[in-house]
Amino acid sequence: MPSSIAPPARPLNRNDYKTLSLSALGGALEFYDFIIFVFFATVVGKLFFPADMPEWLRLMQTFGIFAAGYLARPLGGIIMAHFGDLLGRKKMFTLSIFMMAVPTLIMGLLPTYAQIGLWAPILLLLMRVIQGAAIGGEVPGAWVFVSEHVPPRHIGYACGTLTSGLTGGILLGSLVATAINTIYTPEQVSDYAWRIPFLMGGIFGLFSVYLRRWLHETPIFAEMQQRKTLAAELPLRTVLRDHRGAIVLSMLLTWLLSAGIVVVILMTPTVLQTVYHFSPTVSLQANSLAIVTLSLGCIASGALADRFGAGRVLVTGCLLLLATSWTLYHSLASHPEWLFPLYTLTGLFVGVVGVVPYVMVKAFPPVVRFSGLSFSYNVAYAVFGGLTPLVVSLLMKESAMGPAYYVAVICIMGMLVGGYLWKRGR
């Protein structure tokens, strides 16, 4: 790819900040739509499956519908990335949020099992699959979109800011779920209030579709289009044939990202309640603080990667995450009063995942960047995101330190990848 495609060196301007803020806001709202289901899984399970079904089977089927969203990610991501490399980043970027908003809105309006029988869980599953396909295109598409808008020396900051927006969506989901369960009684939640977060998500998502009309196609894609240097063959075929090293690197880093988010952020509130006997309220408060510092850590690690290189930031960040997460899980039994400072600090160092998109964006050339990043990220997230809870649960059967063991192994892998990048001057 000719070097002239790279934007000239310049500081971030007002248009860059507008692009970043609109992209991060849209990403936060889309991730909220994807994650809100898990906060109401118990209520949804009771409403969308037969009343006489055993509780364990109902929960298993409900979480199976949640997992279907993850399994749909690779296919949706690969298809949307294919057209993103051929037709434009902006079109797919806008389509992905539309495909997330509409199913979320419909989920808030769906009749229950008592009203339409077996069609209720079938329609719920269909909406969840469409959501999964949308998120599979949104996350890689957003990283590519912002990285191709900003000057090369600010790509880390842009990707970190976008990732911060995605994690902000998890926090928003947690806060909305807490508010609904505080304002309404359990009977009201089961009767109608569970619908409110889905309806809000759908409306906010459609508003984001409108906001994305103000974004412009990336300068890099526009220049490739003008020069007629778009992919001459199926972009994914080129990726699989010519960029296997970049695929392996991206998949390993996606494993790091999924482990940090799934174990430390999504699973730990349950661990705090079941293993360390904290109340649900205290666990969620500590978790909310950890998500806030995670968001800040993503921005900081991306900005530091611009200055010092991704390799150094990965090595340092993974070492600090290993130390703080180990201390967190090891100390709580004897020092429960350390929960808030330790979890907050651990959340900050999970922010090392803000470096991941910076490395992945740079690993693939612009002509197949969307397809390469999307394939690597979505396939790896479907595998590792799905297996991580299972592996951690099995480890916890042997020891309460199971989450710490898993995070430690992943951090060591992250340091090895960081060392490799550092050695190569990246």
Give 167-226 pLDDT, tens digit per residue.
889 889 888 988 898 899 989 999 999 999 999 999 988 888 887 777 777 777 777 777
Which structure tokens are listed for 39? 């906060």
Q: Name the least confident of 59-63, 163-167, 189-193.
A: 59-63
Tens-digit pLDDT profile for residues 132-152: 888 888 888 889 888 888 888
Please say if the pLDDT value at position 24 is more than 50.
yes
Model confidence at 86, pLDDT cuts 50, 70, 90, reads confident
Look at the chain and count its residues.
426
Q: DSSP for 39-50, please give it.
A: HTHHHHHHHHS-
Distance CA 191, CA 185 (A): 10
Tens-digit pLDDT profile for residues 318-365: 999 999 999 999 999 899 999 999 999 999 999 999 999 999 999 999
pLDDT (0 to 100) of residue 233: 65
pLDDT (0 to 100) of residue 191: 93
Q: Which fold has domain 11-230?
A: Growth Hormone; Chain: A; (1.20.1250)
Residue scoring higher pLDDT (181 or 62): 181
Distance CA 360, CA 390 (A): 27
Q: Which fold has domain 232-426?
A: Growth Hormone; Chain: A; (1.20.1250)
Average pLDDT over every residue of 80-86: 78
Please say if the pLDDT value at position 10 is more than 80.
no
pLDDT (0 to 100) of residue 229: 58
**Half-sphere exposure for 375 (CA within 13 Å, toward CB):** 21
Average pLDDT over every residue of 10-14: 79
Distance CA 382, CA 395 (A): 20
Q: DSSP for 203-241, please give it.
A: HHHHHHHHHGGG----HHHHHHHHHT-S-SS-HHHHHHH
Distance CA 281, CA 340 (A): 13
Tens-digit pLDDT profile for residues 257-307: 989 998 998 888 888 888 888 887 888 889 889 999 999 999 999 999 999
Amino acid at 343: Y
Distance CA 20, CA 18 (A): 5
Q: Name the least confident of 70-74, 228-232, 284-288, 302-306.
A: 228-232
Tens-digit pLDDT profile for residues 34-48: 788 877 877 888 888
pTM beyond 0.75: yes
Distance CA 188, CA 199 (A): 16
* Contact (Cβ atoms closer than 8 angstroms) between residue 352 and residue 314: yes
Distance CA 203, CA 105 (A): 7
Q: What percent of the chain has pLDDT over 70?
A: 95
* Contact (Cβ atoms closer than 8 angstroms) between residue 167 and residue 381: no
In a 10 Å sphere around its CB, with 0-12 CB exposed, 13-18 middle and 19+ buried, how is residue 418 labelled? buried
pLDDT (0 to 100) of residue 45: 80
**Among candidate residues 394, 122, 419, 116, the one with its CA nearest the CA of residue 249:** 419
> What's the count of helices (H) and strands (E) in the chain, helices before strands?
20, 0
pLDDT (0 to 100) of residue 5: 46
DSSP H or E stretch at residue 98: helix 89-107
pLDDT (0 to 100) of residue 26: 79
Q: Name the least confident of 2-16, 57-71, 112-126, 401-415.
A: 2-16
**Placement of tokens 């301007």 in the chain:** 13
Please say if the pLDDT value at position 3 is more than 80.
no
Please say if the pLDDT value at position 6 is more than 80.
no
Indicate where the chain has its CATH 1.20.1250.20 domain(s): 11-230, 232-426
